[in-house]
Amino acid sequence: MHTSFNPKSIAVLPFVNIGREENEYFSDGITEEIINALTKVRDLKVTARTSTFYYKDKHLDARIIGNELGVETLLEGSARILNDRVRITAQLIRTDTGFHIWSENFDRHLSDIFQLQDEISLLIVDKIRENFGHLEVQEHLIEAPTKNIEAYKHLLKGRELRMRWNAQDVKNAIPYFEQSITLDPSYADAHFEKGWCLGMLASWGYLIKDEGLLEANRYIDIGLQLNPNSAMGHYVKGTISFWGYWNYKDAFEHLQLSLKINPNSSEVRDAMADGFSALGKIDEALANNKMALRINPLSANLYFTKGNMIYFKKNFQEAVVLFDKALSINPCFPLALEMKAAALILDRQADLLASFVENTPQLERPNSYRAIYDLMHNADAFNISKKEVEKELQEAAEISLRAWDLYYEVYSGNHEMALNILHNRIKERSGQLFNFRNDPLLEPLRTHRKYKEIEDSIFQTLDLPEFILEPKSPVASFPFDSGQIEHYSEVLELLMHQEKLFIDPELNLKQLAAHVGLHPNKLSWLLNNHFGKNFNDFINQFRIKEFQQMAVDPANKNLTLLGLAYDSGFNSKTVFNTFFKKETGMTPKQWLKLRMP
């Protein structure tokens, strides 16, 4: 086992689409639904979608992926739609050995997709707790969000576009969510998805802001009326409150509600980091970013966010390293590209800036970067004229993610004009400037009275909720009194010694719980906390003793050791040999040699 990893941890790799190319969205959707379901198990570490989808169409050894993601298990699978049926294969793999813990094939009617996703998710969690330790597992991890499979399909198609994180694809996603709502007006997730798209487009200037935000909140509020306990719904509401209105109180309240429902969301942690950084609470932002990266270690956006925080601390060289890390994952990440340019300017790295501009043709405003460098440092490294900058700013195809026109006025010495631009954009709650309080490029404006008035207009009368960095896990109640522990321990020993239930190679935790007369959660707790063993280790110790008794019996001298192992309840040579060596410190042959005359 990877000693530095959480043993109760999993990454769900993108399910392979077997069949028509146009059904790719469906296999991706199944993957995401299983990831979301597993995050509901409180003490299970589940790698986020962004990081697992990094491996899509990459054929790497499970041990390599496990090491990169810091998980003990991987789920691989495939999905195929045939008319009105869906066929799914799934296998759970240990990342330390590459051993397949469990595999199964499913063939169901498409209308049963949610029950199937729930069944697979529960089977996975059962296998993880049988092998790695106690988990408290709910009766169900997925409730059907809609009875209309066509509405679900449209939602998955829209989500696949929305997850590409660029304005055009977000726009293109909206009709799919609209169709989903038309097919099932009670489908809360479709309302949340459409609301998020409208709200983010409005916040960043791709729609008329007031109208877009009003419409966004209308859909989000409908969704919350339909499902008031949706982690996604509160995340979306909080995100739009933050980006659209800079309403920090509302944003944090909803984000904290989302975390209370699902504490394992890297997206919510990232949103919390943005909120804290906007308030100037950089250390709190970094703490949330650290939690998010634990769940989502291959997210370009999270490395960008971390780089941003380090940039605000004015450690520009370390920030560039983090922006480069983000760009190694996503070479076309616009914000990381622009922030790298800003860091190189502030760090007075003319040669590196020149090389960066020359080797990065997708940069939208290279002349602005170079002109600002010369103006800031009173240098003539680039000699870009004002006319060239103005032409570039007017002709740029994309809406600027950073306020380069504002920065240009600041370093041209036009502070009154710069303050007017800043005032107007702050009034508009421009996404460009949500971090203006920390922005080192605005330093020359901070001595002006008008700047202080602008800052006070946002922060002076700020009403904020109490911050909870990490919602407390519910205190687990002690499930037994001392008498019950003694009673059920005796029942277990009796079942093992007299009925030899361990001989059944298919015996699982739920079956044993039924024999004992306990809920599986209680039996799992008893095995781990009283006996100090997970289910598999508990059962395999009896199988080893049975093997040892049979192996030294002269009546069995003509049987192979592996045959005896199978007769003892093992169904895998690898598991038998591994567990035997763990228990005795030697191989079965070495052990037997010491005991035979």
Predicted confidence at residue 323, as pLDDT, reads: 97
Q: How far is the C-alpha of 25 from the C-alpha of 156, rounded, in Å?
A: 6
Predicted confidence at residue 194, as pLDDT, reads: 97
Predicted confidence at residue 469, as pLDDT, reads: 59
Token couple for 471: 């919602």
- Report in angstroms the alpha-carbon separations of 473 from 42, 176, 270, 464: 8, 37, 20, 23
Pairing verdict, β 73-82 and 45-46? unpaired
Q: How far is the C-alpha of 147 from the C-alpha of 570, rounded, in Å?
A: 42
| Average pLDDT of span 269-280 | 93
Q: Quick one: which H or E segment has residue 90? A: strand 85-94
pLDDT band at 596 (very low <50, low <70, confident <90, very high): confident
Token couple for 289: 């970013």
pLDDT above 80: residue 471 = no
Kindly tell me the burial class for residue 351, based on how many C-beta atoms sit within 10 Å of its own C-beta (0-12, 13-18, 19 or more): exposed
Predicted confidence at residue 19, as pLDDT, reads: 80
pLDDT > 70 fraction of the chain, expressed in percent and rounded: 96
Looking at domain 482-595, its CATH architecture is Orthogonal Bundle (1.10)
The residues near 349 (Cβ < 8 Å, ≥ 6 apart) are: none
> Which residues lie across from 9 on neighbouring strands?
45
pLDDT band at 479 (very low <50, low <70, confident <90, very high): confident
| Average pLDDT of span 548-575 | 91
pLDDT tens-place string over residues 351-394: 999 999 999 998 889 999 999 999 999 999 999 999 999 888 88
Q: How far is the C-alpha of 123 from the C-alpha of 107, rounded, in Å?
A: 16
- Is residue 371 within 8 Å of residue 408, measured between CB atoms? yes
Q: How far is the C-alpha of 364 from the C-alpha of 396, rounded, in Å?
A: 6
- Is residue 533 within 8 Å of residue 570, measured between CB atoms? no
Q: How far is the C-alpha of 345 from the C-alpha of 325, rounded, in Å?
A: 19
pLDDT band at 476 (very low <50, low <70, confident <90, very high): low
Predicted confidence at residue 4, as pLDDT, reads: 47
Predicted confidence at residue 398, as pLDDT, reads: 65
Token couple for 218: 């209308």
Predicted confidence at residue 460, as pLDDT, reads: 78
Q: How far is CA 234 from the centre of its chain?
A: 17
**Per-domain residue ranges of the chain:** 9-132, 482-595
| Average pLDDT of span 497-501 | 91
The residues near 4 (Cβ < 8 Å, ≥ 6 apart) are: 70
pLDDT above 80: residue 118 = yes
Predicted confidence at residue 508, as pLDDT, reads: 93
3-state secondary structure of 34: helix
Residue 175: count of CB within 10 angstroms of its CB: 14
Predicted confidence at residue 392, as pLDDT, reads: 87
Token couple for 543: 């199988």
pLDDT above 70: residue 2 = no
Q: Quick one: which H or E segment has residue 423? A: helix 415-427
pLDDT above 90: residue 395 = no
pLDDT above 90: residue 181 = yes
Kindly tell me the burial class for residue 232, based on how many C-beta atoms sit within 10 Å of its own C-beta (0-12, 13-18, 19 or more): buried
pLDDT above 50: residue 530 = yes
| Average pLDDT of span 460-465 | 73
User: Could you tell me how many residues make up the chain?
Assistant: 597
User: Within 94-166, where are the H helices?
Assistant: 113-132, 149-162
**Topology (CATH) of 9-132:** Rossmann fold (3.40.50)
| Average pLDDT of span 142-156 | 91
Q: How far is the C-alpha of 239 from the C-alpha of 267, rounded, in Å?
A: 10
Predicted confidence at residue 263, as pLDDT, reads: 84
Predicted confidence at residue 307, as pLDDT, reads: 97
How much is the mean pLDDT over the chain?
A: 90
Pairing verdict, β 45-46 and 16-17? unpaired
pLDDT above 70: residue 338 = yes
Q: What type of residue sits at position 590?
A: Q
Phi, psi of 81 (to 5 degrees): -100, 125
Token couple for 265: 């969301």
| Average pLDDT of span 301-306 | 95
- Is residue 455 within 8 Å of residue 424, measured between CB atoms? no
The one-character DSSP state at 463 is: -
- Report in angstroms the alpha-carbon separations of 246 from 23, 201, 459: 39, 15, 10
Q: What type of residue sits at position 330?
A: N
pLDDT band at 597 (very low <50, low <70, confident <90, very high): low
pLDDT above 80: residue 65 = yes
Asked whether the whole model's pTM tops 0.85, one would answer yes
Predicted confidence at residue 431, as pLDDT, reads: 85
Q: How far is the C-alpha of 375 from the C-alpha of 383, rounded, in Å?
A: 10
pLDDT above 90: residue 470 = no
Q: How far is the C-alpha of 276 from the C-alpha of 297, rounded, in Å?
A: 21
pLDDT above 60: residue 439 = yes
| Average pLDDT of span 486-492 | 90
pLDDT tens-place string over residues 81-115: 888 898 999 999 999 888 888 899 999 998 888 89
